[in-house]
Amino acid sequence: MRLRKHVPLIESTLKRVALRPAASSLCTRCRRYASSQAYPEKVAVLGGGISGLASAYFVSKEFPRSKITIYEANKDSGGWIQSRRVQTPTGDVLFEYGARTLRPGSNALITAQLIQDLGLTDNVIFAKTGSTGAKNRYVYYPDRLQRLPSPGDAPDFWHIAGLWQSGLLAGAPSALLLEPFRPQRPESLKDESIGAFIERRLDKRVGNNLASAVMHGIYAGDIWKLSARTLLSQAWMLEGLAGSIFKGMIKIQQETPLTDKVMLFHPHDLDVFKAMREEVKLDETFQRHLDGCAMFTFEDGMAELVTALKKNLENSGRVDFKFGSWVQDYKLAGENRQHVDVTTGPKDSPSTERYDLAVSTLRDKRLTPFVTVQTVNLYFPNPNLIPQKGFGYLIPQSVAFEENPERALGVIFDSDAIQGQDTAEGTKLTVMLGGHYWDGWEHFPSDDEAYGLAMSLLRRHLKIKEEPTHYNVNLSKDCIPQYTVGYEDRLKSYAEHVTSQYLGRVRVVGSQTHGVGVNDCIRGAWAMARQLRGAGWKKIESGLERAMDARYDGAWVSAPANQGPPKVKS
């Protein structure tokens, strides 16, 4: 597979399909296949991580008679989501290796519906919006923890003065004042790094001190490589609209007679938000809890969601899991190329199975690079190990090497952030190492080395003198896709390629194409399955229609905020 421009290919393929006798009676404008089947009898899901499991779940909802096979290379499902209980002399503690919490809000609506449908709502634990663990977020700069103001805080002059004095906010006030007067980007500039965008519109220091910390916490990525057009899309679009982010905000409010707040949206997203509004029906109590929380997870960790999904699929009797199955290849097959042949197994003894439809959550390294993150979970019996209480801290790229020779991205204060998972009292921390700092590395720290790095960081940053009684090291190799500069164009080419190559028989979902968060992956799976609904599965689509939406010509459309992402509240 090559990432090339594929529009002409799609057109010629569509013509070819239309000319075939079997397809001649079809309305080719509907871009449908000549299949007499009412539903895809056999569906393959490639990959058993959260995207694959959610895809299988939503597809089975759309087509209750379909037989689904999930191929997973590992011995079990769940992908990066792994939760493990560790026994200590005074009780047990839960270690999360990957994602540990979900954030509420519109992006979590489909996840919330899924949790409710799986009967898991009683197992959910919520971190309330005003709780210390949720409220206190820190940035390490230049050599100590700085607490960031949280949205509910009353204005505190001394706090802001302290942040200012530390240099963390350097350049920010004047950058905000001057932003409307800075020159607009040239027409020819189609994308740039987050670092370059912030330097151009605000101040380089704002990027290196603040934006880089945020991007470490989400993408473990480098602001000088990640795409501004994709990851700061609102700001990018506002500049495109009016020459400045600030002027763009004023312009969209003025242009509309509506008193409601107006925002810019990708036209495709407006359709998805509408569908979410129509289809998500949450119980009142669950909704109320979600509404008042800053994050949520499960008593037994994020793996509960994976386990419940797997159990639900197994119990349906229509879903078959094939663990230890490497997908070698998948290609169109059969008369009129209406099927997909999926080849799995070791290279020397592969086996091939034919399907009506395949959903791929597999990665393609030509679309994005990935970063590797190593997590070190630590448990100390002392509950008062560190004076600072809160969610944890992020370490921006601007921190000097001597302050972060371990190349850590941040530290999570798990025992403060989420309460209700452990029976043992104490302090639970996770040190996150690597990410973009390890770009190009072929070898990564061993477990012992990673433990040493984590402890040396904690001794220096938090003055911890004790040793943990329990710890775990986990290396998630190539776990977070990086939406680097040019991603949007690459995704479009990729979408065109998938469409023309697989003629609708293969749909693509996952963190490489739909967003890196758990919520994003679940929402992507839901949207993909919804597109299959009825005869939708016969359409020549890829699941990547957002990237190819003809209504989007590089600029987003303005619409009242209430047409945007639905709130958790009904």
Ligand X SMILES: C=Cc1c2[nH]c(c1C)Cc1[nH]c(c(CCC(=O)O)c1C)Cc1[nH]c(c(C)c1CCC(=O)O)Cc1[nH]c(c(C)c1C=C)C2
HEC-encoded secondary structure of 79-130: CCCCEEEEEECCEEEEEECCCCCECCCHHHHHHHHHHHHCCCHHHEEEEECC
Q: Which two tokens stand for residue 426?
A: 């104490």
Q: Which two tokens stand for residue 312?
A: 């639900």
Nearer to ligand X, 264 or 457 (CB): 457
- We find the least distance from the C-beta atom of residue 491 to ligand X, in angstroms, to be 17
- We find the least distance from the C-beta atom of residue 449 to ligand X, in angstroms, to be 18
Q: Name the 3-class secondary structure at 332.
A: strand
Residue 510 near ligand X by CB under 6 A: no
Residue 131 near ligand X by CB under 6 A: no
For the segment 420-449, give every residue that binds ligand X (CB under 6 A): 432, 435
Instruction: Output the residue with the shortest Cβ distance to ligand X.
Output: 410
Nearer to ligand X, 370 or 502 (CB): 370
Count of residues binding ligand X (CB under 6 A)? 21
Measure the CA–CA gap between 248 and 250, rounded to whole angstroms: 5
Nearer to ligand X, 86 or 218 (CB): 218
Measure the CA–CA gap between 491 and 548, rounded to whole angstroms: 9
- We find the least distance from the C-beta atom of residue 336 to ligand X, in angstroms, to be 40
- We find the least distance from the C-beta atom of residue 361 to ligand X, in angstroms, to be 16
Measure the CA–CA gap between 477 and 461, rounded to whole angstroms: 26
Q: Return the range that interacts with ligand X (CB under 6 A); candidates 60-68, 214-222, 228-236, 262-270.
A: 214-222
Residue 217 near ligand X by CB under 6 A: yes
Residue 229 near ligand X by CB under 6 A: no
What's the distance, CA 442 to chain centroid? 25
Nearer to ligand X, 491 or 516 (CB): 516
Q: Which of 392, 426, 468, 481 binds ligand X (CB under 6 A)?
A: 392
Residue 371 near ligand X by CB under 6 A: no
How does strand 357-360 pair with strand 506-508? parallel
Residue 409 near ligand X by CB under 6 A: yes
Backbone angles phi, psi at 518, to 5 degrees: -60, -45
Q: Which of 100, 322, 436, 497 binds ligand X (CB under 6 A)?
A: 100
For the segment 244-303, give every residue that binds ligand X (CB under 6 A): none
Residue 101 near ligand X by CB under 6 A: yes
Q: Return the range that interacts with ligand X (CB under 6 A); candidates 21-29, 148-156, 409-417, 542-550.
A: 409-417
Measure the CA–CA gap between 145 and 399, rounded to whole angstroms: 12
Residue 84 near ligand X by CB under 6 A: no
- We find the least distance from the C-beta atom of residue 385 to ligand X, in angstroms, to be 17
247 secondary structure, DSSP code: H
Q: Which of 169, 211, 220, 418 binds ligand X (CB under 6 A)?
A: 220
Which residues sit opposite 377 in a β-bridge? 430, 472
Taking CA atoms, 281 is separated from 22, 52, 110, 170, 427, in Å, by 42, 23, 10, 45, 38
- Say what angle helices 284-291 and 109-117 make with each other, to 10 degrees: 140
The answer to whether 499 touches 539, Cβ cutoff 8 Å, is no
Residues of this chain that bind ligand X (CB under 6 A) = 98-101, 103, 216-218, 220, 373, 375, 392, 394, 409-410, 412, 432, 435, 516-517, 519
